[in-house]
Amino acid sequence: MRRPDIRRRDTRPVRVGDVAVGGGAPVSIQSMTTTTTADVDATLAQIAALAAAGADIVRVAAQTPADTAALRRIVPAAGVPIVADVHFHFRRALEAVAAGAHKIRLNPGNIADRSQVRDVIAACRDAGVPIRVGVNEGSVRKRGRESFSASSPAGKRGRGHDRPKTTPDPFFSLAELMVETLGGYLEVFDEAGFADLVLSAKSHDAATCIAVNRVLAERYEYPLHLGLTHAGTAETGLVRSVAAVGALLAEGIGDTIRISLSGDPLAEVAAARELLWSLRLRAREGVEIISCPTCGRTAADVAALAEQVRAATADVKAHLVVAVMGCVVNGPGEAAEADVAACCGKGQAAIYRAGERVGTVAPGEIVAALVRLVREAADDGGPQV
């Protein structure tokens, strides 16, 4: 039986440089540099590393005039579309557009003056630059829901459904507040007839993130950028992010994603790729390791073996499934579905290629045997199962 694929929500297409977002395009991966943008060399080096890891779009901070001036050198040399993250001064957005940024990110909680927003819209329209309107929990809590009135309904008009009127309900939920704040901000764009938009609403809480994005997906036709904000370390942030982003993607919601983690942004890209591969929203590349969770029957250090095989085959581009199994109970069944497999027993391991047992090796020879067969399978043109 053919495995089911996720049916994705229809959204408007937006072009971010040469990357399509929405409109049925593949879900794109984003990350953000941790360098000072004005340090051109350091920023370009990190952009190159993120692109090599699989990032399709990279965002940089645009806090100062020196940062936006640096974009004139960064954008042409980056190799991937660059998004300028503008938080507190609309002039940084104007400077970033003039410097060639491929997209601008605005936060309604920090740039609320409508005349300033209109200036940014005009500049982006003239340059053909899309805008991501992104609200997050922190800025919404700080400003409250009085910054922009969302009380006047806006018909769908290809952009949004009717919005509920603002209510003084003291128990107004955070998710509702985020939707209401975003809806009020979008009135400026509706009035200007500017629809080249990507929307995002982020919280550190997975359930809130799921709730708010479900509403946005139902209410608007704009593509959605998914992610959590201040999600935490690689350990906690990864679980929270995948809980929210994975759930939404599985429902067909989301057009571009960032897995936000404290620390090295390369880990964000690796996690995002694995998430999209796991949901079959992208064709998997490279060696896919599957290994058993281990139990009292385990006859080998499965975790160490799997990691050694992964590291030794990191350069292989063909998609090959390698199973590292700790015993002979479930091992042969998993081996039948893998391109290459090892089923470990006491003092030896059975080695499989394309479901067929091809030999037995000593414990110290397992990694070498698997790596050799992986490279043979890759040279033969990929999976043979």
> Does residue 384 fall inside a structural domain?
no
The domain tally of the chain equals 2
**Rounded Cα distance, 203 and 205, in Å:** 5
Assess contact for 182 and 133: CB atoms under 8 A. Answer: yes
Helices (H), 173-264: 174-192, 206-219, 234-250
Q: What is the residue whose two structure tokens read 């350990």?
A: 235
Helices (H), the chain: 40-53, 65-78, 90-98, 114-127, 137-143, 174-192, 206-219, 234-250, 265-278, 302-312, 331-337, 366-379
Same domain? For 135 and 274 the reply is yes
Residues with Cβ < 8 Å from 55, sequence gap 6 or more?
A: 29, 30, 31, 80, 269
Give percent of the chain with pLDDT exceeding 70: 90
Same domain? For 23 and 97 the reply is yes
Dump pLDDT digits (tens) for 78-116.
Answer: 999 999 999 888 999 999 999 999 999 998 877 778 899
15 phi and psi, to 5 degrees? Answer: -100, 125
Domain end residue (candidates: 278, 310, 325): 278
Terminal-to-terminal C-alpha distance of the chain: 16
Dump pLDDT digits (tens) for 241-265.
Answer: 999 999 999 999 999 999 999 889 9
**Rounded Cα distance, 381 and 231, in Å:** 40
Exposed/middle/buried for 211, CB within 10 Å: 0-12, 13-18, 19+?
Answer: buried
pTM of the model: 0.86
Same domain? For 108 and 160 the reply is yes
Residues of the chain with pLDDT under 70: 1-3, 141-172, 381-385
Same domain? For 268 and 232 the reply is yes
Written as six digits, the tokens of 37 are 């943008």
